[in-house]
Amino acid sequence: MKTETKNCQNCQKEFVIESDDFGFYEKMKVPSPTFCPECRFQRRLLFRNNRVLYKRECVLCHEPVLTIYHKSRPYTIYCRDCWLSDKWNPIDYGKDYDFSKPFFDQFKVLMEAVPRVNLYRDNFILSDYCNYGLDFKECYLLFGGMNNERIYFGNQVVESRDSLDIAFSSKIEFSYEIFESKSFNKVFFSSYSKDCVESYYLIDCRNCTKCFGCVGLVNKKYHIFNQPVTKETYKEFTKENQGSYTKHLKNLERLQKLKLNVPHRYARIYKSVNSSGDDLSEARNTQISFTSGQTENSKYLFFCRRGTKNCYDTSFQGFNAELLYEVAHGFAGSNTAFSIRNLMNQNTYYSEECHNCANIFGCEGLRKKSYCILNKQYTKEEYEALVPKIIEHMKTTGEYGEFFPKELSPFAYNETIAQEYFPLTKKEALAKNYTWQDEEKRNYKIDIETKNIPDNIKDIEDDIVGKVIACNHGGACKHQCTEAFKIIPEEFKFYKRMSLPLPRLCPNCRHYERIGQRNPLKLWDRVCMCDKNSHFHGQDKCEVAFKTSYAPDRSEIVYCEKCYQQEIY
């Protein structure tokens, strides 16, 4: 089939469906999409609340719990132990399919009836205020990840310990304010770097030790803003620049200026073949995908890891997942489409929070079940006869092939991570017919304005712990600002021990600024900017074309892979 251009049903912009895409849709037995890739991604994010927690009570055991569901939402909330217990049976909520009603109307009723688990977590030790994770110990406000100890204020962190304010990173130790990095020890205020030790303010650096304010360095030691210095000079310079918030801001400003003068690789794609996007590793035939690794024959991925094959429009998934389409926030699975928070399912369509199931359609909260529709048990023969009829009915209502509509999201727009990647004000959200959750009035009294905090951490006394500090943003942002925050004891000890300036923003605003370092999750066609005659193209300007997440109007110098390698290494 030839390439086809469509108008997005949501934003009205044109988007292209390539000829190879139709082969995937045919394999999944679904029609081609009516939403553009960006709107499809935003729609999936509407079904994930990472960071907004509420206090409720488990309906079954009546114990107090933290949950991602506001009390105004029409859901029955169980604690994890009760939800996994045999004290209730999701099959009891089964319904006959009604061909006189749209499918999504029937599924909404099921969503509101079947009990939901309060948080998504397993083997958490002293890590109450955390969500979406496995094997956390003594963590606080950590959302997403596995095998972490004493990580505070993090998002999607793996195999790390004793660090604060970390996002999309792995194997981080004794570090602070890190984004999209791997294998750090005592590294601070750094991003997109790997295998670095005892360094500050790094961008795109690898295997560096004792470097400060550097961009694009490889295998270097004792450098300050990309210039080599003696061991003694480096030691004196770092000593003078530690602990001061004013100097921290100046160092950030100087780092950004250096960033504009150093060439950048068109895309951070490593050990990959025939792949496009950004922040990819070990990818093969993976197109227009971001922050993913070990993927193959896939397209439109975001944060998919460890064996994702033949998947389209998939987010926060992985671990030997295969043949997934419009799936989000789950684990493993095969031949699954239009599903949310499902674990290790096969042949699953239009289902939510189902685990270890096979051959289910339109189900909620099932575990180890097969041949179910709307949570009702059928025989294999009955199931295989009824599902095609339901699909034909959904085609007549225009539902089949579409992900769950925004009206079915259990969260308000500003509770979800859609707000992180597609930020809206309340007015903008309501104009687009999204729901919005107004913050409850807070009764706290500000103890300290940020302007009154001593500049250097060495001049701040222990009594600041537990006091209410005003956030610098004061709520005038799209960052789910809490307007105030407290410093906890473990956090303050870390700042003192590492000689780090005290933050002036609440954890939510710090999180948003951290992920704001990411380039847009879209690609532009550009040509290499290199004109150096010492490179492979000789006297002529390089004419290598590529797809990059650096928009044409950006100020960075963007090189093709070969020119970048010749310039940096």
Rounded distance between C-alpha atoms, residue 128 and residue 476, angstroms: 29
pLDDT of residue 326: 97
CA 314 from centre of chain: 12
pLDDT of residue 476: 86
Rounded distance between C-alpha atoms, residue 139 and residue 137, angstroms: 6
Q: To the nearest 10°, the Cα dihedral for 277, 160, 247, 215? A: -40
pLDDT of residue 1: 67
pLDDT of residue 57: 96
Mean pLDDT by 10 residues, the chain (569 residues): 90 94 95 97 96 94 96 95 95 97 98 96 93 95 96 96 97 98 98 97 97 97 97 96 96 96 95 96 97 96 94 92 94 94 95 96 97 98 98 97 96 96 94 92 86 95 94 89 93 96 95 94 96 84 95 95 87
User: Is 123 within 8 Å of 136 (Cβ atoms)?
Assistant: yes
Rounded distance between C-alpha atoms, residue 372 and residue 387, angstroms: 10
pTM of the model: 0.94
Query: What are 324's strand-pairing partners?
Result: 336
Rounded distance between C-alpha atoms, residue 394 and residue 407, angstroms: 17
Q: How far apart are the first and last CA of the chain?
A: 44
Bridge pairing between strands 194-203 and 209-215: parallel
Place of tokens 């096979």: 358
Rounded distance between C-alpha atoms, residue 454 and residue 193, angstroms: 31
